[in-house]
Homo-oligomer: A and B are copies of this chain.
């Protein structure tokens, strides 16, 4: 099985296989430090050249920027207590939380990716005898990138990753970055639906402002809290009902009243 696939570099990776061979890998079960591909002598299991930010490595950079999770498989030859006894095992979806360049054990440049297992999945290795549960989560580490879904990714692509309020986009090694913001929030008690009409494509700044009520959108798509009107593209129209729900519940937060004395 291949390590990272697909590895055209044009799309985020769908799956990766951990099967040993990369001396800089580290496997804590729920958290993995995954070494990028290239420059590796598989038979000797060590790095013999620098890695480049291309192909599979560029694909994983796109997973980070887009918030797209990747499927992780572990092979039996992996030197880890989380390796399956035989064959290959599918171990669920992992998020790419961070990536950076480093000098590996052998002194060559490698790319390292921190992967974290998405919540709400039973861990296959906990049912195996002699294997402990997952390592405790590192405290204090917070990733800035917002998780993605197929729907919000589609909305972002329709808008070319440009913010519907200010028109900017953020360029990263993994491509353009924007965030899908739900207009009527998901989850009880708001119970907004996860549909494209309930999603805006926003830059992080305007996403925070929208979530905190500093910015709302009128029936005419005029923006309250920033200049202009909401930018539209063919194929995506935010729902008036959702915008109204947001106004009714968040617009009042927009301007703080004068502080009253006790």
The digit string for A43-60, where 1 denotes a CB below 8 A from any CB of B, is 000000000111100100
**Could you tell me the distance between the alpha carbons of A139 and B186 in the complex, rounded to whole angstroms?**
8
What range describes how many residues of A lie at the interface?
35 or more
Whether A257 touches B54, Cβ cut-off 8 Å, given contacts A172-B212, A212-B145, is: yes
Q: Which residues of chain B have C-beta atoms less than 8 A from A204's C-beta?
A: 144, 203-205, 207-208
Which of B141, B214, B252 is the one whose CB lies under 8 Å from A187?
B141
A230 CB, nearest partner CB in chain B, Å: 18
Assess the A142–B147 pair: CB atoms within 8 A: yes
Task: Give the CA-CA distance A131 to B204 in the complex, in Å.
Answer: 40
Tell me the dominant secondary structure on chain A's binding face: loop
Answer yes or no: A239 CB below 8 A from chain B CBs: no
Add 4 more A-B contacts to A144-B211, A173-B212, A173-B256 (CB < 8 A). Answer: A138-B188, A170-B205, A172-B212, A204-B208
Whether B260 lies near A174 (C-beta < 8 A) is no
Q: Which of A6-14, A15-23, A75-83, A84-92 is the interface stretch?
A: A6-14
| Distance from A133 Cβ to chain B, minimum over Cβ atoms (Å) | 15
Bound state CA distance, A260 and B55, in angstroms? 7
**B-contact 0/1 string along A91-121, CB 8 Å cutoff:** 0000000111110000001001000000110
- 0/1 interface trace, chain A 226-262, chain B, CB 8 Å (1 if under): 0000000000000000000000111011111101101
